[in-house]
């Protein structure tokens, strides 16, 4: 019987099986301290960064969420399409 294998994190595992548990937990490092562009205070941690954004009502560029919007057709488009259609039918 043939088996199918896939490579996961450099190891071959039978297809359809979950990859082995990592050897150690993955830990994300804290952010480097920076000066706020809003008030000049020193931000030294992620939690302080989030608090600072909330306190000043600002968002990071690239992380903001915009609701989908429906684009309205240009004014007079429907009437212009009717006129063009009528001109073509008169010529033909």
* pLDDT tens digits, one per residue of 19-69: 667 788 888 888 999 999 999 999 999 999 999 999 999 988 887 778 888
pLDDT-derived band of residue 1, with 50, 70 and 90 as boundaries?
low
Q: Is residue 85 part of a domain?
A: no
Q: Is residue 9 part of a domain?
A: no
pLDDT of 46 reads: 92
Give the C-alpha separation, 39 to 92, whole Å.
69
Q: How many domains are there within the chain?
A: 1
Q: Is residue 38 part of a domain?
A: yes
pLDDT of 17 reads: 65
The answer to whether 6 and 15 are in contact (CB under 8 A) is yes
Kindly tell me if the per-residue pLDDT of 18 is higher than 70. Answer: no
Give the C-alpha separation, 38 to 48, whole Å.
14
Q: Give pTM, 2 decimals.
A: 0.43
Give the structural domain span for 55: 29-59
Give the C-alpha separation, 2 to 78, whole Å.
63
Q: Is residue 48 part of a domain?
A: yes
Q: Is residue 89 part of a domain?
A: no
pLDDT of 20 reads: 67
Q: Is residue 47 part of a domain?
A: yes
């Amino acid at each position: 019987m043939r088996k199918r294998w896939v490579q996961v994190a450099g190891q071959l595992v039978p297809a359809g099986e979950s990859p082995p548990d990592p050897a150690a937990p993955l830990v994300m490092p804290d952010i480097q301290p920076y000066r706020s562009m809003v008030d000049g205070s020193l931000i030294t941690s992620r939690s302080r960064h989030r608090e600072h954004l909330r306190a000043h009502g600002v968002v990071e560029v690239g992380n903001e969420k915009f609701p989908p919007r429906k684009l309205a057709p240009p004014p007079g488009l429907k009437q212009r399409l009717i006129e063009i259609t009528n001109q073509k039918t008169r010529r033909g």
